[in-house]
């Protein structure tokens, strides 16, 4: 049994998500201790629990300690099975964070896996679902993974109620990913959305984002669509991405009561501009998401920033497989991640 210290590094739910995913993939039982020990509300939260239960379904695992507030989890996996998985998060818990645990496991099934997840699609402290769909999955396609996500309904904090469905095909041919620097930005795209709010909110977010991107990239093509709908509660947000000659880099922002739509658009544009500044092909958000997949695919990525999330994910992967990665760069600065010992399973 592999023992994982859940308080290591950034000490959040990511340790748990990656550890449970790799346990299912390898068939190795794990014990995760000190789960989120340094957080104001230690232990498993509902969204972490749902991620565990989703992976449990995929590999028919036996689990101890799977309850809200638990700081100890034991996970005994069996073979990953192709099936339809439903994860009903009854809060605004992040759909995308649950998918961070499920996606790697789904790729190791012997045939297609489908899923349906309800919860928060656009909530603080987690990747927006549009980022996952248009940036993360675009990168995963480069290494041979075929996955689709459809956003049926938005779910904002605090009500949730979003609905996302999708499917993942078996990862049959693993392709190395080499993504160092980009030479050119081909265009900008994005999605500005709002629910239970006047349509001009999403439109003003677009106008503000376009204005700020045009200042920096005056000759670039910028196409940002708007989506206005209904959900359990009001909310808005915008996700932008730059299409480069290598991958896509993203930036996003969420609206909230009292925050002008113009500020939301500006924040997303400024975040994306900052990610593009080092000319590294992988943004800081995608960097840590790619780590578990990169271990099996091999290759090298240059990231706009070495984050605690990235370093923590590297650490978790290496608890299973020993030395896999070589990292060049300091925390908070642009850096390089190279696979030195690819994992063969």
Catalytic residues: 309
Proportion of the chain in helix, strand, coil states, percent, rounded to 5: 35, 30, 35
- Residues at the binding site for ATP are 100, 285-289
At 96, is the pLDDT very low, low, confident or very high (cuts 50, 70, 90)? very high
Q: What is the DSSP string of 259-325?
A: --HHHHHHHHHHHHHHHHTT-BSB-HHHHHHHHHHHHHH-EEEEES-B-HHHHHHHHHHHHHHSS-E
Tokens of 240: 């932008």
**pLDDT tens, position by position, 246-279:** 999 999 999 999 999 999 999 999 999 999 999 9
| Domains in the chain with CATH codes | 2-178+282-339 (3.65.10.20), 182-276 (3.30.360.20)
Distance, in Å, from the CA atom of 276 to the CA atom of 284, rounded to the nearest integer, reads: 10
- Residues at the binding site are 100, 285-289
**pLDDT tens, position by position, 205-219:** 999 999 999 999 999
Distance, in Å, from the CA atom of 234 to the CA atom of 227, rounded to the nearest integer, reads: 13
Strand partners, 30: 2, 75
At 318, is the pLDDT very low, low, confident or very high (cuts 50, 70, 90)? very high
**Under 8 Å between Cβ of 209 and 269:** yes
3-state secondary structure of 212: helix
């Amino acid at each position: 049994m592999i023992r994982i210290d859940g308080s290591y590094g950034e000490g959040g739910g990511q340790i748990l998500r990656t550890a449970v995913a790799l346990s299912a993939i390898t068939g190795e039982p794990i014990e995760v201790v000190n789960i989120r020990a340094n957080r104001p509300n230690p232990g498993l939260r509902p969204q972490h629990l749902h991620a565990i239960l989703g992976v449990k379904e995929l590999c028919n695992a036996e689990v101890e300690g799977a309850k809200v507030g638990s700081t100890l989890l034991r996970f005994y996996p069996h073979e990953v099975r192709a099936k339809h998985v439903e994860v009903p998060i009854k809060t605004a818990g992040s759909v995308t964070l649950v998918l961070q645990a499920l996606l790697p496991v789904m790729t190791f099934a012997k045939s297609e896996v489908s899923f349906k997840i309800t919860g928060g699609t656009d909530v603080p402290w987690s990747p927006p679902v549009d980022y996952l769909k248009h940036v993360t999955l675009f990168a995963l396609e480069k290494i041979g993974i075929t996955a689709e996500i459809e956003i049926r309904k938005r779910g904002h904090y605090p009500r949730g109620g979003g609905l996302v469905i999708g499917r993942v095909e078996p990862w049959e041919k693993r392709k190395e990913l080499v993504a160092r620097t980009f030479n050119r930005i081909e265009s900008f795209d994005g999605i500005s959305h709002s629910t239970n709010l006047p349509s001009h909110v999403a439109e003003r977010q677009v106008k503000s984002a376009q204005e700020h991107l045009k200042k920096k990239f005056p000759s670039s093509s910028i196409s940002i669509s708007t989506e206005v709908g209904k959900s359990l509660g009001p909310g808005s947000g915008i996700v932008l991405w730059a299409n480069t000659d290598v991958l896509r880099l993203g930036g996003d922002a969420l609206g909230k009561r009292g925050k002008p739509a113009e500020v939301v658009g500006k924040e997303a544009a400024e975040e994306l501009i900052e990610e593009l500044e080092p000319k590294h092909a992988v943004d800081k958000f995608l960097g840590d998401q790619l780590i578990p997949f990169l271990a099996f695919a091999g290759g090298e990525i240059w990231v706009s920033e070495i984050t605690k999330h990235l370093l923590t994910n590297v650490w978790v992967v290496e608890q299973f497989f020993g030395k896999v990665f070589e990292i060049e760069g300091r925390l908070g600065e642009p850096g390089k991640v190279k696979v030195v010992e690819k994992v063969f399973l």
